[in-house]
């Protein structure tokens, strides 16, 4: 999980725009947690999780957590390949 957090913070241009709570929600979503599980883990309501999730994905210009990961990996590999040319 630390590797994914590192990739997001390094290669996703908008990751730093998130609040710490939005990052927490994103990380738990990426782990496959459902809204209710995220809410329980963070001690907040599932409605609050939905709001954080929506705000975070909007700021990150992603439609789903998988979409977020796809673009992060794609961008990181793209930069790695360019450095070998």
**In the prediction, which pLDDT does 85 show?**
46
Greater model confidence, 78 or 16: 16
Look up the CATH number of the domain holding residue 7.
Answer: 1.10.10.10
Query: Residues for the chain: how many in total?
Result: 85
**In the prediction, which pLDDT does 79 show?**
52
**In the prediction, which pLDDT does 11 show?**
62
Range of the domain at 61: 1-81
> Is residue 81's pLDDT more than 50?
no
Question: What one-character-per-residue DSSP string does 29-49 give?
Answer: HHTT--HHHHHHHHTS-HHHH
The closest of 70, 72, 67 to 15, measured between CA atoms, is: 72
| pLDDT one-digit tens code per residue, 28-77 | 998 899 999 999 999 999 999 999 999 999 998 889 888 888 877 776 66
Indicate the number of domains in the chain: 1
Residue 41: half-sphere exposure toward Cβ, Cα within 13 Å: 16
3-class state of residue 12 by DSSP: coil
């Amino acid at each position: 999980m630390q590797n994914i957090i590192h990739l997001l913070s390094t290669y996703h241009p908008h990751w730093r725009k998130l609040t710490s709570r939005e990052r927490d929600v994103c990380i738990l979503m990426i782990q496959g947690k459902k809204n209710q599980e995220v809410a329980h883990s963070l001690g907040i309501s599932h409605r609050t999780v939905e709001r954080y999730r929506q705000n975070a994905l909007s700021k990150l210009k992603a439609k789903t957590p998988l979409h977020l990961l796809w673009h992060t990996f794609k961008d990181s590999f793209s930069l790695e390949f360019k450095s070998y040319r």
